[in-house]
Amino acid sequence: MESGIDLQGSLIDLLTNFGLPSEVAKVVWMPLPMLLMLVVATVGVLVAVWLERKISAAAQQRIGPEYAGPLGSLQPVADGLKLLFKEDIIPNRADPWLFTIGPALVVIPVFLSYLIVPFGQNLVITDLGIGAFLWIALSSITPIGLLMSGYSSNNKYALLGGLRAAAQSISYEIPLALSVLAIVMMSNSLSTIDIVEQQSGYGILSWNVWRQPVGFIIFWVAALAETERLPFDLPEAEEELVAGYQTEYAGMKFALFYLGSYVNLVLSALLFAVFYLGGWSFPVPVEAIAGWLGLSEMSPWVQVVTASLGITMVLLKTYLLVFLAILLRWTVPRVRIDQLLNLGWKFLLPVSLANLLITAGLKLAFPVAFGG
């Protein structure tokens, strides 16, 4: 595989040409991708919120947001601004410190997980050797924040919601991790870049969906439960718990929870696309197309086209999955807490274990198809 565009190298070269020492140039480079990723994540959330509202409206034969911006696309911005300017309320007899730290603890790990999300061969903040594992580890911090905000709100619904959220997210982490493990076993690496590399080659045919159909479904169910999307949104079930751990929150702290849940949804969809749908690869391998057209892969504009096609593909797959999540939200009724735990522990866990075992067996039997 070619190295593709090296933005970091180019920028550092540029800055050193201006007479800066190379170390300083590196320091100048470092925050740029992080800032870019923060902006991308936030804008991704805005798009996801808008999609959610529009698609929900369409599914219920409504129109949805209409007047703020073209097709109501500025509605999430307006909502965010409104929440930003609202009074920051800390309830009487609540624990002010924990109450404030809680939402931050929920949001920070989710944003940190964007470290490992690749949009292209070199379009990732860091290609960590433990990429997928880092995501699972970081997502396990979130329940602490939920418990913290649930406890500190001094409200029984908030506490119940926090406990439920923690129970749900630790029990669905296991099938999630096991289905990721099957993928990792096939690609011999935890790095998200390597996982996508392993799926390139034959275009759509070499994507992991075909090799891991069971893992595909388990991952999606578990990811929905992790992000507390609707069939599994018991922690904030309106009919039972008012709003769960968010009950006492208002203003920017509530906005953090809201942001966190949507960032988490987009992140899950992104990683789902990376793990199962070939990440940035086009359904037909780009190298093959370049070969047919008689173009050199190394020529600069082909590189630019390939990179932008990659980003488009990742986003397309991600928002397709977000769309699926929204559609599921209006299709499947909410499960009860015992049904939720039954599904997690008695169905998904054994099935994902069996999936892992079968994957290992297939890997030994057919090392060509399942990554030797």
**Could you list the residues that contact another protein (CB under 8 A)?**
23, 26-27, 55, 57-63, 66, 98, 128-130, 133-134, 136-138, 140-141, 143-144, 147-148, 151, 159, 163, 166-167, 170, 173, 190, 217, 327-328, 330-332, 347
Nearest to 352 by CA among 124, 112, 183: 183
Nearer of residues 167 and 267 to another protein, judged by Cβ: 167
List all residues 6 or more positions away from 93 whose beta carbon is below 8 Å from its beta carbon: 154
DSSP letters for 73-134: TTHHHHHHHHHHHS-----TTS-HHHHHHHHHHHHHHHHHGGGG--SSSS-SS---TTHHHH
Rounded least distance, CB 143 to another protein, Å: 5
Rounded least distance, CB 134 to another protein, Å: 5
Rounded least distance, CB 190 to another protein, Å: 6
Rounded least distance, CB 41 to another protein, Å: 20
Nearer of residues 127 and 297 to another protein, judged by Cβ: 127
DSSP letters for 159-222: HHHHHHHHHHHHHHHHHHHHHHHHHHHHHT-S-HHHHHHHH-SSGGGGSHHHH-HHHHHHHHHH
Residue 72: CA count within 13 A, CB half-sphere:
17
Give the type of residue at 79.
D
Give, as one character, the DSSP assignment of residue 284.
Answer: S
Distance CA 92, CA 178 (A): 43
Nearer of residues 63 and 295 to another protein, judged by Cβ: 63
Nearer of residues 138 and 315 to another protein, judged by Cβ: 138
Nearer of residues 148 and 265 to another protein, judged by Cβ: 148
Rounded least distance, CB 330 to another protein, Å: 5
Distance CA 158, CA 315 (A): 35
Both tokens assigned to 357: 């075992």
Rounded least distance, CB 282 to another protein, Å: 26
- Collapsed DSSP state (helix, strand, coil) of residue 48: helix
Compute, in degrees rounded to 10, the torsion defined by CA atoms 362, 270, 299, 288: 40
Nearer of residues 58 and 337 to another protein, judged by Cβ: 58
Nearer of residues 72 and 203 to another protein, judged by Cβ: 72
Distance in Å from the first CA to the final CA of the chain: 19
Nearer of residues 274 and 307 to another protein, judged by Cβ: 274
Rounded least distance, CB 369 to another protein, Å: 23
Nearer of residues 47 and 159 to another protein, judged by Cβ: 159
Nearest to 151 by CA among 247, 239, 229: 247
List all residues 6 or more positions away from 18 whose beta carbon is below 8 Å from its beta carbon: none
Rounded least distance, CB 17 to another protein, Å: 20
Rounded least distance, CB 38 to another protein, Å: 21
Give, as one character, the DSSP assignment of residue 343.
Answer: I
